[in-house]
Structure 1
Amino acid sequence: MRVRFHPAAAAEIERAQAWYEERSVFAAAGFLQELTRAIQRIRLAPERYPAAEQHAANRSRTVSLHSVLRGAT
């Protein structure tokens, strides 16, 4: 499964990464590690996460990354 980010979400991720980097390289690395884990969870079991939006034409779903990072299943 391919995971794509909405432009607003991608911008938010970049801002969060910059915020963490200002505070600590270790915090920034932890943020990216958790983001990577969240993406892997979405890829492995997308049906476990509530769809924020359904795209019937191409059978893709938009998943709220916030719910994945919080650990909602």
Structure 2
Amino acid sequence: MFNVNVHPDVYAELEHSRMWYEERADNLGTEFITEVNKAIEMVGKAPMMWPFHEKQHDIQRLSTGFHTP
């Protein structure tokens, strides 16, 4: 299993998201964090399922022709 490094800014965003979910339903924020932790663990177990790319790719909406550089 590989170590997964998470950018420090992610923790504040996760806490904000956890609180948002918790306001909507009891324990929903906890369930959200549990699922995030499972996903991070999965990346550590099988990192090639999510290959790292040095280059940032453009986002395109093909149906509207909208393009964001």
Q: Same fold (TM over 0.5)?
A: yes
Larger Rg: 2
TM-score (norm 2): 0.61
Structure 2 match to 1:47 = 48
Structure 2 match to 1:3 = 4
TM-score (norm 1): 0.58
Gaps of 5+ in 1: 54-73
Q: Which has the higher contact order (CA 8 A, sep 6+)?
A: 2
Q: Which runs of 4+ in 1 moved over 4 A?
A: none
Q: SS in structure 1 opposite 2:27?
A: helix
Q: Which has the higher helix share?
A: 1
Kept after mapping to 1: 8 A contact 2:3/2:44: yes
Q: SS in structure 1 opposite 2:5?
A: coil
Structure 1 match to 2:29 = 28
Identity %: 36
Q: Please tell me the root mean square deviation across aligned C-alpha atoms, in Å.
A: 1.7
